[in-house]
Structure 1
């Protein structure tokens, strides 16, 4: 027997789950995703990764601007669903939607709840220096990521993980949770575990203002900040050149011994002083250029000892 499912999601992270659920043989009667948005240099309207994949699978796609509209909710309820599977959809579902499917709505979240509820759990886990994270599927409630956990998998955070590499690990691990969860749901054997009230943290959305590197922080924190914002939006500093100030993004750095004024280059090879210790910049990206290693960057842009960033 297969479940009658609606899938809700938008980015690549969600598309991987859609592919896995479809491959498990369940009946996906409709996909909901965010409307096409202008993207790229030409600002052409672009469908989301979930939208494109759903069309390739021949699944009906709906892109309501507001899921709370009465006609959207009425249409959703008419689908006679067993369950809705939600992954990074980008809209908050009202109670009427959560209660419409026979078995409710399930959500895949990229953290070990109640740590890092909210919009940016992958980035915030790295920025905080966490050594482990994970993926969980929970029963959705009206609160923000507050529902009981149904299935969970722990994922270690490696010292060289960036937000990009950890995103990919969690995307794959999370997608593989769906067949197990839905099979248990069919059997009626899922065990819901309520979230504890202790250890709650919130992963607020990444703002552009916080991307600038604060060299006054300890070296380990600077490295974690850089990793947590790589590849997007990218932690950055301003560098004075003969042609004026340019913005340089840093995609990876490692802590090293060193002492100096925060932001001061301690040698000619991108060892930068922090509030405590120093960091060696390893992967950089100058405005309008691609990501490159330190040696390649220095061949085009000198940063001699004594330079202040």
Structure 2
């Protein structure tokens, strides 16, 4: 599938005054890189402060905290991207769609953590890992109103290793993407190219996506664990598997059966490394097993 180039304005080849929109930790390296490279950042638009734990207070987003340290003006209104006198806006993991009206007023660049058009959407790193992709990456594209459809200035590939977690991949993509973003806006953006190929969509992972089905192969369950938040049940209560190691070893017990520190799957076993029983902090699996004194034949799920 090939797209036509958009009718929206494109950024100048070498913008100097920029606006920035981003919210989570993934967006911080790009903001820091732009500031350290000497770009004039007219405004930082980010998500509003929110409560991050049940008993905690409202706290600013990671991007907001970084902007405060840098002495940059902060806003929670997307419309302020257009009123800062910027040559363009840089958007990284902002978390909200930007309207066509705003896009028509100021050109916008988007740093996206996938190899577009594969994995458009909210959870590209997690979906790439869960699907068993060998490679992921980061793209710089011109932002359009529709979801991640804009033409692409460049793609940078990052291999997915057998032990990579989604959290580690996001850190690497954010750091390498930030470096290449600054190189592009400093040396010249060039002309973006329409996306090529059949798109796939990275919807946000649900609780059901993270539930372990022990009849699946150990390799699939391992990917769920590396995505983060993989869970099962033990004695009717939720049990999170924070770390594990797959193996092709076989066992004749039914899937979900615990023997030693390993759980039987539909093909192979998963050795438990870090676990989190209901109402407890994460713990080394060996230490938990020693204290839990589970009967022989205990089954998860």
TM-score if structure 2 supplies the norm length?
A: 0.89
Give the CA deviation at 1:81: 1.8
In 2, distance between residues paired with 1:252 and 1:129? Answer: 17
Q: Equivalent residue of 1:203, what SS?
A: coil
Cα 1:170/1:76, change in 2 over 3 Å: closer
Q: Which residue of 2 aligns with 1:194?
A: 194
Give the CA deviation at 1:149: 1.1
Matches within 5 A, 1:280-295: 280-295=271-286
- Which segments of 5 or more consecutive residues in structure 2 lack a partner in the other structure? 1-13
In 1, distance between residues paired with 2:155 and 2:131? Answer: 21
Q: Equivalent residue of 1:118, what SS?
A: coil
Cα 1:2/1:147, change in 2 over 3 Å: closer
Q: Which residue of 2 aligns with 1:57?
A: 70
Which has the larger displacement, 133-142 or 205-214? 205-214
CA contact (8 A) 2:18 2:89 kept: yes
- Which segments of 5 or more consecutive residues in structure 1 lack a partner in the other structure? none
TM-score if structure 1 supplies the norm length?
A: 0.87
- The answer as to 2:109 corresponding to 1:106 is yes
Q: Which residue of 2 aligns with 1:10?
A: 23
Give the CA deviation at 1:50: 0.6
CA contact (8 A) 2:215 2:256 kept: yes
Q: Which residue of 2 aligns with 1:297?
A: 288
- The answer as to 2:229 corresponding to 1:238 is no
CA contact (8 A) 2:244 2:273 kept: yes
CA contact (8 A) 2:20 2:81 kept: no
CA contact (8 A) 1:255 1:280 kept: yes
Count residues with an aligned counterpart: 285
RMSD of Structure 2 on Structure 1 (CA):
1.8
In 2, distance between residues paired with 1:291 and 1:82? Answer: 47
In 1, distance between residues paired with 2:15 and 2:111? Answer: 20
Match of 2:266 among 265, 275, 282: 275
Give the CA deviation at 1:303: 4.0
